[in-house]
Amino acid sequence: MAKDSITKSRRYITISYVFMFLTLFTIVFGLFAYLFARKVSVIADLEVWLQTHSFWIMRNIVIYIFLSLFASVWFIPLYFYYWDTYMWVTACTVIGVVFAIVAFLFLLNAWLKGLSKFFKNKAVF
């Protein structure tokens, strides 16, 4: 594989990790991270450690989106103003906050683990 192709792939993975970090604040950046990582994963003759990083980013973005959607479901009862007086609505809100924190910490941990392996030029699993 050509040297400039490896450099381009490393650049795409770096951009994906930047967008992966920004995904912690809004999910829209997760789609950009996924697309840049997908660009790297479809290259045929690429080094294995770069492909593992692209798959790692894609996998964790998808899991984070599903965790975020699951956490957001718990906030639906807050939409109905009349229900706000009930205790179960408060419990649903607390559960939603807990799941949102779990999703946030999941992606932060995946980002730190992947980035540390990326700087060492090692495969991430």
On whether residue 104 sits in a domain, the answer given is yes
On whether residue 13 sits in a domain, the answer given is yes
**What's the Cα-to-Cα distance from 29 to each of 22, 70, 84, rounded to whole Å?**
6, 19, 32
On whether residue 23 sits in a domain, the answer given is yes
Please identify which residue in the block is written with the tokens 């090692």.
122
What is the average pLDDT score of the chain?
91
**What are the residue ranges of helices labelled H in the chain?**
3-22, 28-41, 48-73, 87-119
Residue pLDDT, tens place only, 63-107:
999 999 999 999 988 888 777 778 888 888 999 999 999 999 999
Tokens of 53: 């990083």
Report the C-alpha gap between 59 and 79 in whole angstroms: 32
On whether residue 78 sits in a domain, the answer given is yes
On whether residue 39 sits in a domain, the answer given is yes
- Expressed as residue numbers, the domain containing 56 is 3-119
On whether residue 124 sits in a domain, the answer given is no
Q: Averaged over 45-49, what is the pLDDT?
A: 87
On whether residue 61 sits in a domain, the answer given is yes
Number of domains in the chain: 1
pTM of the prediction?
0.89
Report the C-alpha gap between 51 and 87 in whole angstroms: 48
> Is the pLDDT score of 2 beyond 70?
no
On whether residue 100 sits in a domain, the answer given is yes
